Amino acid sequence: MWLWYSLVLLAVAAALLLLYLHSVNQHWRKLGIAHPKPQLFFGNTRRLFLLKECLPEALDRVYHQLEGLSFGGFYLMTRPCLLLRDVSLINRIFVGDFGHFHDRMNFPQYKKDPMMQHLCTMGGSMWKEMRLRMSQVFSVGHTRRVFFVVQECCARLQKSVEAAIRRQPGCEVELKELVSSFTTDVIGVYAFGIECGAIDDANSQFRRISSMVFDTSATNAFRQILFLILPALAALPGMSFFSTAVTEFFDRISAETVQYRVKNKVLRDDLVHLMMTLKQKGLLITEEGESIEISDKFMAAQLHIVFALGFEMTSTAMSFCLHELAMNPGVQTKARVEVDAVLSRHGGEITYEALQEMRYLDMVVAETLRLYPPMGFLMRQCTGEPYQVPGSDLRLRVGDVVYVPLLSLHRDPRLFPEPLRFNPERFSGGHAHPAYLPFGAGPRTCLGQTFSLVEVKAGLAALLSRFEFWGCARSAGSPIPLEPRKVILAAANGLYVRVTPRAWLPVN
């Protein structure tokens, strides 16, 4: 008898689940909004859930299925979302109507997990207040003042590559691994005031931890994807966007750094000092009267996210750029000629002022960020009150999420002719293309944009002034196949090139 009751209950539960999933998939149909046909439970992101494609690729499929429309609906698993295709509408929502979309996404575990309370997840007045404070560390003036940090890392990077070539002439290198050591050291000193030693020692603790932040293991990939597609499930006990080892490391490093500075009366112009100063003031009160407690965990969260994104975004841009230069020798030669000419006018030194004169190198970086935007999508959540989408009958509810498929926009032939061709000349007139959004759009654009571009250009100039990069049997070709297990864009099978010393060096 109990067996029959159990079977009946199971059948009823299954029927209710199927009914719920079916009803979820009716959201856009009921509103009369065009959308690709969804699957039960998976929505339009089955391959994403199975780790067969990355989120930018999943959004790209939807983008092309909505051809000719300004926007359309899709289902991120069981969550109905809006995909924006029209550039003017994107700018209207992200810039003009920012007051309705000032948050990225409401994570249920935000209040429970101190390591989730950082600038990327904050919303409203808390985000506004903390962004204003932290912008001091990433301003043009601050970047110029502490540029010597980047210079020192550039010199060490050159010596490291020279040593590798001496050990194995004409060696093949994996670019992401090569430049990650450089960007790890730069952000470590710039933000923490800590010499990470990643360039000189591939097994240094900071390099090992940085490699774990966005590693491609199935467990890590699934956990991070889960946070995006099913944020409610991510609130379960034990769930965290980053692994326990990573969060515990930054928690410890943050505490040890603060203790050392207090004990030894160390003053440095960096993010740690800024956070220590804020903590001494006690609670921060926003314009709307909301209070922010600068606790040790809160400090660790800011340091963690700045380090994670600081090293990952810049190393991604540098590695993709060097690979495209290896695949396009003419572009590499033109960039190198400019680097040589500019450095000769600056005594052979890579200075902040010298980088501002490297116009063609700036175009090369811009084209890299177009073809391979590190964060291949943007997201915003409707906040405050419902929002009427301009020019339509669609009224978004509070909590609805909109996506901008950056990878798709940047590779759309309507917006960028011959989009898969690496052509820096398309930016000869500047970066003012309305669809070019590698750092986001509106008030929530990337806080570290200025510093990141300086760091990337400095690293590229350091390498191009001493070495040549060539395609090899293991090179990925172009465009590069993407890794399905990372939130941030990455090459599926690594970025391998052959590195040789310059055939000649200019006389300074």
What is the percent of the chain with per-residue pLDDT over 70, rounded to a whole number? 94
Degrees, nearest 5: CA angle 196-151-197: 15
What CATH number does the domain located at 86-501 have? 1.10.630.10
Asked if residue 83 lies in contact with residue 405, where contact means CB atoms within 8 angstroms, the answer is yes
Q: List CB contacts of 105: < 8 A, sequence separation 6 or more.
A: 121, 228, 231, 379, 381, 401
pLDDT at 128 over 70: yes
Band of residue 508 on the pLDDT scale cut at 50, 70, 90: very low
- The Cα 436–Cα 428 span in angstroms is 14
pLDDT at 414 over 90: yes
CA-closest candidate to residue 382, choices 97, 139, 173: 97
Structure tokens at 88: 């003017």
- The Cα 453–Cα 355 span in angstroms is 10
More confident residue, 499 or 223: 499
User: pLDDT tens digit string along 394-413?
Assistant: 999 999 999 999 999 999 99
More confident residue, 160 or 227: 160
**From residue 20, how far is each of 14, 44, 229, 439 by CA, in Å?**
10, 17, 17, 38
Asked if residue 300 lies in contact with residue 254, where contact means CB atoms within 8 angstroms, the answer is yes
Band of residue 169 on the pLDDT scale cut at 50, 70, 90: confident
Asked if residue 337 lies in contact with residue 468, where contact means CB atoms within 8 angstroms, the answer is no
Asked if residue 461 lies in contact with residue 339, where contact means CB atoms within 8 angstroms, the answer is yes
CA-closest candidate to residue 418, choices 493, 478, 488: 478
Average pLDDT across the chain, whole number = 88
Q: Which residues of 424-462 are buried (b: 16+ CB within 10 A; e: fewer)?
A: bebbeeeeebebbbbbbbbebebbbebbbbbbbbbbbbb
Least confident of 5-9, 320-324, 463-467, 490-494: 5-9
- The Cα 410–Cα 240 span in angstroms is 31
pLDDT at 362 over 90: yes
CA distance between the termini of the chain: 92
CA-closest candidate to residue 319, choices 494, 161, 57, 500: 494
User: pLDDT tens digit string along 174-205?
Assistant: 999 999 999 999 998 887 888 888 888 777 88
User: pLDDT tens digit string along 442-456?
Assistant: 899 988 899 999 999
**Using omega within 30 degrees of 0 as the cis cutoff, is the peptide bond preceding 479 cis?**
yes
Q: Which residues of 208-231 are buried (b: 16+ CB within 10 A; e: fewer)?
A: ebbbebbeeeeebbebbbbbbbeb
pLDDT at 14 over 80: no
| Phi and psi torsions of 91, nearest 5° | -70, -30
**Residue 465: predicted pLDDT:** 97
User: pLDDT tens digit string along 215-258?
Assistant: 778 777 777 777 777 776 656 666 677 777 888 888 888 888 88
**Residue 297: predicted pLDDT:** 86
User: pLDDT tens digit string along 286-329?
Assistant: 777 777 788 888 888 888 888 888 889 999 999 999 999 999 99
* Surface-to-core class of residue 66, CB atoms within 10 Å of its CB (0-12 exposed, 13-18 middle, 19+ buried): buried
pLDDT at 2 over 50: yes
**Residue 354: predicted pLDDT:** 97
All structural domains of the chain with their residue ranges? 86-501
Asked if residue 352 lies in contact with residue 337, where contact means CB atoms within 8 angstroms, the answer is no
